[in-house]
Amino acid sequence: MTNTVRVSLDTRSYDVQIGCGLIGDAGRQMSPLLARPRVAILTDEKVAGLHLEALRDGLSVVGIDSDTLALPPGEATKSWAQLSRSVEWLLERRIERRDVVVALGGGVIGDLAGFAAAILRRGVRFVQIPTSLLAQVDSSVGGKTGINTPQGKNLVGAFHQPSLVLADIGVLDTLSARDFLAGYGEVVKYGLLGDAGFFEWLERHGPVLAVGDRELRAEAVRRSVQMKADIVARDETEQGDRALLNLGHTFCHALEAATGYSERLLHGEGVAIGCALAFETSARLGLCPQEEPSRVRAHLKAMGMKTDLRDIPGDLPDADGLLALMAQDKKVIDGQLRFILARGIGQAFVAEDVDPGIVRGVLADALDSRI
């Protein structure tokens, strides 16, 4: 069964289709968008080995031709060099304004291909076919596209909404347990930020979902995407509510910088640890009872996820070092740290001007394994 979530953005509205076998059905799904039966696919070499044939078959069965550029896998691909390579390849393939670019891959490919589509001929349409859990529940929806620069992650980009998102639940079977659980960090985030009932549902079903139950996986993706769609519809360009999606991310970005954006810590793992730290900070500020961060951590642990700073292999900077890394965060405005904090599970809000002393205390205790 396929579920549809509508992202309502006026003339830029689109559907997110969620179900099994959608890659094989991509041609039928995309046909109404195409002015001519031809698309350009951007993917990475690893994903191409797993899913490209199925996609090309799904396109050719309804007569759609495709050309493919497979880029190197990994975060380093979100660069000026691979962006210009992609844009020039699209121009050489004579992709025109009325054509459609297809992003087949995880967050790296989705962000890069979306940005290439945004600037190609001042904007062509694109379709996201996310192949990681993280991309299905977060990065493929909402139109944030971009690349990294030596100055930081995602500092260059554009808001450019896709025309369609096909989240094929079957492809999640090809993820390693670690990659799946990293994506699950973003799923938990939705419950924590705005839906206590969803968090309870995850407490009940998370372990079965993690070992492969497709119906539960589809439901978790649907509920996550619905929450994101609702938030993006209210605040497309992050002037207000959309910042709630950054729960756990200020801590996460500091930890990712401290670990060199390496395999030591995947983004979704950092989000999960960051959510636990955001709830700990909220409890210390008296915003929520201490049971709330304990419950967050208990669920992450029950899922076998990285939960605490001691779960990150290798050394980390001290609390002041981590605070200094946080000060580089995009959410800093006029030097004031902005955090997403919570009055309880499912009740996040944007907190301006958080006392750095409290955050330093949380980090110091976490580094000393006292949390």
The residues that touch ligand GLY, with contacts defined as CB under 6 A, are 138, 142, 144, 242, 245
CB of 237 to ligand GLY, least distance (A): 10
CB of 117 to ligand GLY, least distance (A): 17
Residue 172 corresponds to which tokens in the numbers above?
Answer: 């999640």
Catalytic option among 38, 125, 160, 228: 228
Q: Considering the complex, state which of residue 138 and residue 292 has its C-beta at the smaller distance from ligand GLY.
A: 138
User: Is residue 253 annotated as part of the catalytic site, yes or no?
Assistant: yes
Catalytic option among 160, 189, 267, 338: 267
Q: Considering the complex, state which of residue 138 and residue 256 has its C-beta at the smaller distance from ligand GLY.
A: 138
Secondary structure of the chain in HEC code, one letter for each residue? CCEEEEECCHHHCEEEEEECCCCCCHHHHHHHHCCCCEEEEEEEHHHHHHHHHHHHHHHHCCCCEEEEEEECCCHHHCCHHHHHHHHHHHHHCCCCCCCEEEEEECHHHHHHHHHHHHHHHHCCEEEEEECCHHHHHHHCCCCEEEEEECCEEEEEEEECCCCEEEEEHHHHHHCCHHHHHHHHHHHHHHHHHHCHHHHHHHHHHHHHHHCCCHHHHHHHHHHHHHHHHHHHHHCCCCCCHHHHHHCCHHHHHHHHHHCCCCCCCCHHHHHHHHHHHHHHHHHHCCCCCCHHHHHHHHHHHHCCCCCCHHHCCCCCCCHHHHHHHHCCCCCCECCECCEEEECCCCCEEEECCCCHHHHHHHHHHHHCCCC
- CB-neighbour burial class of residue 113 (10 A; exposed 0-12, middle 13-18, buried 19+): buried
- For residues 130 and 107, give the distance between their C-alpha atoms in angstroms, rounded to a whole number: 7
User: Is residue 267 annotated as part of the catalytic site, yes or no?
Assistant: yes
User: Is residue 46 annotated as part of the catalytic site, yes or no?
Assistant: no
CB of 342 to ligand GLY, least distance (A): 17
Q: Considering the complex, state which of residue 75 and residue 203 has its C-beta at the smaller distance from ligand GLY.
A: 75
User: Is residue 3 annotated as part of the catalytic site, yes or no?
Assistant: no
Cβ contacts of 10 within 8 Å, gap of 6 or more: none
Q: Considering the complex, state which of residue 85 and residue 330 has its C-beta at the smaller distance from ligand GLY.
A: 330
Q: Considering the complex, state which of residue 66 and residue 128 has its C-beta at the smaller distance from ligand GLY.
A: 128
CB of 142 to ligand GLY, least distance (A): 4
Catalytic option among 189, 253, 306, 338: 253
Catalytic option among 56, 160, 223, 242: 242
User: Is residue 236 annotated as part of the catalytic site, yes or no?
Assistant: no
User: Is residue 160 annotated as part of the catalytic site, yes or no?
Assistant: no
- For residues 244 and 251, give the distance between their C-alpha atoms in angstroms, rounded to a whole number: 14
User: Is residue 51 annotated as part of the catalytic site, yes or no?
Assistant: no
User: Is residue 242 annotated as part of the catalytic site, yes or no?
Assistant: yes
Q: Considering the complex, state which of residue 58 and residue 130 has its C-beta at the smaller distance from ligand GLY.
A: 130
User: Is residue 205 annotated as part of the catalytic site, yes or no?
Assistant: no
CB of 5 to ligand GLY, least distance (A): 15
- CB-neighbour burial class of residue 212 (10 A; exposed 0-12, middle 13-18, buried 19+): exposed
CB of 19 to ligand GLY, least distance (A): 22
Catalytic option among 238, 256, 280, 292: 238
Cβ contacts of 54 within 8 Å, gap of 6 or more: 23, 24
User: Is residue 178 annotated as part of the catalytic site, yes or no?
Assistant: no
Q: Considering the complex, state which of residue 55 and residue 165 has its C-beta at the smaller distance from ligand GLY.
A: 165
CB of 365 to ligand GLY, least distance (A): 28
CB of 29 to ligand GLY, least distance (A): 23
Q: Considering the complex, state which of residue 223 and residue 242 has its C-beta at the smaller distance from ligand GLY.
A: 242
Catalytic option among 38, 56, 78, 144: 144
Active-site residues: which are they?
A: 122, 144, 186, 228, 238, 242, 246, 249, 253, 267
